[in-house]
Amino acid sequence: MGTNVAPWKQLLFGAIEANSHLSHSSYFQLATIGFSGRPSNRTVVFRGFEENSDRIQINTDLRSRKIEELKHCPFSEICWYFSDTWEQFRINGRIEVIDASNPDQSKLQQREKAWFANSLRSRLIYTCPTPGSPCNNEQSNQQVNLDPSSGPVPEYCLLLLEPEKVDYLNLKSNQRLLFSSMASGAGEKSWTSEKVNP
């Protein structure tokens, strides 16, 4: 285990592997703060980690409500429950939103790479009518063609969650571990862990 690998990441990889036979094992719930100051919570799909990093990748539509919510409050908590191994990861951190208007070329490249990692069917979702807007059946039935070699559409957005705290619970072994990060020298993070009551 390299010194840069967060200790909870090994546990998470183990859970992903052990539950990979369940298609819903890559789904988790992402909580944000809504406009009214009330919590907001929805299911999203894990799109892997950013290369050489702890940051968790999520795809979303620029027109979805969570984008506006994250502009007001960039903090989020993931709750990821693995139904076969009875493990839960609560991952708290700040989310960076990367859309087409990002001034950083390397971030735009990262967004493009994430776009092409999606199936063509997943990419088509971003050409659908505005999510959450009143349904107009004619509009919904419109056929859109998308060239497989075309780069990301403007509606496609990459979210990167930078974990700061991870609360791990194993309901089979009845163990719970709290992982906390601290910024150490040279911009690197270091992690501490504590065993707590479940």
Instruction: Report whether 54 contacts 4 (CB < 8 A).
Output: no
DSSP state of 154: T
Q: CB of 89 within 8 A of CB of 12?
A: yes
**Toward a copy of itself, which CB reaches closer, 32 or 181?**
32
**Minimum gap (Å) between residue 28 Cβ and a copy of itself:** 8
Q: How far is the CB of 37 from a copy of itself (least distance, A)?
A: 7
Integer Cα distance of 159 and 133 in angstroms: 22
Q: Are the beta carbons of 61 and 156 closer than 8 angstroms?
A: yes
Question: What is the smallest separation between the CB atom of 49 and a copy of itself, expressed in angstroms?
Answer: 20
Residue number, 10 or 130, with CB nearest to a copy of itself: 130
Neighbour-count burial of 145, counting CB atoms closer than 10 A to its CB (0-12 exposed, 13-18 middle, 19+ buried): exposed
Binding site for a copy of itself (CB under 8 A): 22-24, 27, 29-34, 36-43, 73, 75-79, 81, 83, 88, 90, 92, 128-135, 140, 176, 178, 194-198
CB of 7 to a copy of itself, least distance (A): 17
